[in-house]
Amino acid sequence: MTPLVALVQAEAVPDPASLGSLGLRSFLALAVVGVLLAGAVWALRRVNDTRRGKQVLSVESALPLGDKRSLVIVAVEGRRLLVGVAPNGVSLVTELHATFNDTLDRTMSASSPPS
């Protein structure tokens, strides 16, 4: 047998012990990549949530009235505004001082008999 044939035959049969360690290395590398990917997704969501929380202007609710018209509750700089939106412009209807739930809670507590 020539040395070249012996070299090819020796490389053609892998060592069974090295196959197990190769599989383990592949699994560990895949696990590390998965953990890094999950961490990146978590960080991006957290950054997006903090940006969303610091918005100066946000739409709380919108009620379509038909024909491209709607009423919109907008929160801006700590104020809540009811605005009318139409094709020819936007107009302030009124400033809302308390949320509906706050008003409802005050009304219910005032009308309930004392215990």
Integer Cα distance of 20 and 11 in angstroms: 17
Integer Cα distance of 65 and 72 in angstroms: 10
Angle at 11 between CA 9 and CA 14, to 5 degrees: 110
This prediction has a pTM of 0.42
pLDDT grade for 25, boundaries at 50, 70 and 90: confident
Q: Where are the domains of the chain?
A: 3-52, 57-111
Structure confidence by residue, pLDDT tens digits, 35-87: 999 999 998 888 876 666 566 788 889 999 989 999 999 988 878 899 999 99
**pLDDT at 54 (0 to 100):** 63
Q: Which two tokens stand for residue 106?
A: 């005050």
**pLDDT for residue 34 is more than 90:** yes
Structure confidence by residue, pLDDT tens digits, 82-91: 999 999 999 9
pLDDT grade for 17, boundaries at 50, 70 and 90: low
**pLDDT at 16 (0 to 100):** 57
Q: Are 82 and 71 in contact (CB under 8 A)?
A: yes
Half-sphere exposure of 56 (CA within 13 A, CB side): 0
**pLDDT for residue 13 is more than 60:** no
Integer Cα distance of 104 and 101 in angstroms: 5
Give percent of the chain with pLDDT exceeding 90: 34
